[in-house]
Amino acid sequence: MELNHKNNTRLHYAKITLLVIIMGIIVNGCKIYSFSGASTKGLATVSIQYFQNRASLVQPGLSQFITDALIDKCKGQTNLKFINGIGDANFEGEISDYNTRPLTVGADARAASNRFTITIKVKYTNTVEPELSFDQTFSRYQDYDSNLDLSRVEKELSDKIVEMLVEDIFNQAFVNW
């Protein structure tokens, strides 16, 4: 009886070990799908060119912040190797707009809230599947109380907007639902 129990235990551990090995191969070796939903089928490398700031209002450091955020997203959510030249997947673009405008007007004819917007033009080139390439403008905004000075909320709002923009760009390039 005890011998049969030991054999069952060994068999159980062998099944678990086999399952772990298979899952490891699927997750790490496949390079076709990741748990983020990113599809990088056929791609080996990614490159991201510096996003120039061509907006009429230039915020120092925003170009580098957006470029780095997109690099981090691609490194963290794909198995693609990042290269400095031109990769199988290549991103380039520019910040085309950075502004704040009154959104709603209160009873006293003053703005009750403002809308802070960042717009980026992106050219994505997929050399393996050219039909997935795009040249598109992405825009996101955050509203804030007009009683607040933009300089007090700008960093927090910029961070949120850039996070959304990078997510939109990444999804357009790699998540083909």
Contact 144, 117 (CB under 8 A): no
Q: Are 52 and 139 found together in one domain?
A: yes
One domain for residues 12 and 40: no
Examine the domain organization and report whether 18 and 46 are in the same domain.
Answer: no
What is residue 29's predicted lDDT score, i.e. its pLDDT? 43
11 lies in the same domain as 76 = no
Domain containing 14 equals 1-30
Domain count, the chain: 2
| Whether residue 130 sits in one domain with residue 89 | yes
pLDDT at 33: 41
Q: What is the pLDDT along the chain (177 residues), one digit of tens a residue?
A: 555 656 666 666 666 665 555 554 444 444 444 444 678 889 999 999 999 999 998 888 999 999 999 999 999 999 999 999 999 999 999 999 999 999 877 666 676 899 999 999 999 999 999 999 999 999 999 999 988 998 999 999 999 999 999 999 999 999 965
| Domain match, 50 and 5 both | no
- The length of the chain is 177
Q: How far is CA 29 from CA 43, 78, 106, 129, in A?
A: 13, 12, 58, 21
- Looking at the structure, do residues 64 and 109 belong to the same domain, yes or no? yes
Q: Tell whether 103 and 138 lie within a shared domain.
A: yes
pTM: 0.77
Statement to judge: residues 168 and 102 lie in one domain: yes
Q: Could you tell me if 23 and 90 lie in one domain?
A: no
- CATH code (residue 145): 3.30.160.150
pLDDT, position 112: 83
Q: Are residues 44 and 21 in the same domain?
A: no
pLDDT for the residue numbered 57: 87
**Does residue 68 share a domain with residue 141?**
yes
- Count of helix runs (H) and strand runs (E) in the chain: 3, 6
Greatest distance between any 2 Cα atoms in the chain? 88
- Buried b / exposed e over 9-18, threshold 16 CB at 10 Å, is eeeeeeeeee
pLDDT of residue 87: 97
